[in-house]
Amino acid sequence: MGSPTHSLSINIYGRGDAKLGDGPSHMGIAIYKHGSSTCEMHHIRNPTDEDFVYDPRPQPLEDPVLKGRCELASLSSEQSERAASLLSTFGNDDSNIPEFGVGNCQDWVAGAVGMLEHAGVVSSGEGSFWKNMINRSSEEMKNECLRAGKTWIDGPESAYEGEPDAKFVDKERDTVKPVGKLAQNEVFRARMQSLLGSKGGGESDIDETPVERPFYVSSPFFSKMAERND
């Protein structure tokens, strides 16, 4: 087997603190080459507010709303291709996608990590660890990752939290935009909307509708995922 050239991580977007009125943080599984600024993202989203869809895609590794990423594995090129194939098979199986309003993207990630654990891609115990992270705030997830000795890398969003006058550079336009309080900030909300899914018909209503999704209760189906993988 070749030397490690890629990493696999759980990427967490937004604050996701229910005590502060937030919906759950968005989560996905990223595979990326060491030193690359882009990743292959595996996640589900709900573009119509009715059903989740598996939506793998290349995207920047860093993102203005990225809280951070928890690295789960270093992989050779061959191993990264296998992991991507396993995630694609898992994602394209509709039985693995939670019902909207019952589960969410975090359930899907926990199930996918359990599958990767069963396949020997990630370490033993990762599936149950991420199952226990469902509906926690991103700060709690970060703390638990560090407590468990995992590698955590802060994202740009961490630098903005609690900073009402923070700014970031819009890389597409080379301009500096005010971030403000992220939960109410238009730029932040628009970016989260693009991650989670937009309304049907191509119309945006981010000025009127909060981007955060409801605080879902995890589906009993996903609570049995670990048993199914044993």
Whole-model pTM?
Answer: 0.72
pLDDT 10s digits, 157-179: 665 443 322 233 333 444 444 33
Percent over 90 (pLDDT), the chain: 60
* Greater pLDDT, 154 or 170: 154
* Greater pLDDT, 106 or 218: 106
Element (H, E) at 140: helix 138-147
SS3 193: helix
**Which residue, among 205, 26, 222, 209, has the nearest Cα to 107 in the 3D structure?**
222
CB burial string 52-73: b at 16+ within 10 A, e below = bebbbeebebbbbbbbbbbbbb
**Average pLDDT of the residues in 39-59:** 93
Residue 31 clears pLDDT 80, i.e. is over it: yes
**Average pLDDT of the residues in 190-205:** 51
SS3 151: strand
- Rounded to the nearest integer, the mean pLDDT of the chain is 78
Residue 140 gets the label, from left (phi > 0), alpha (psi -120 to 50) or beta, of alpha
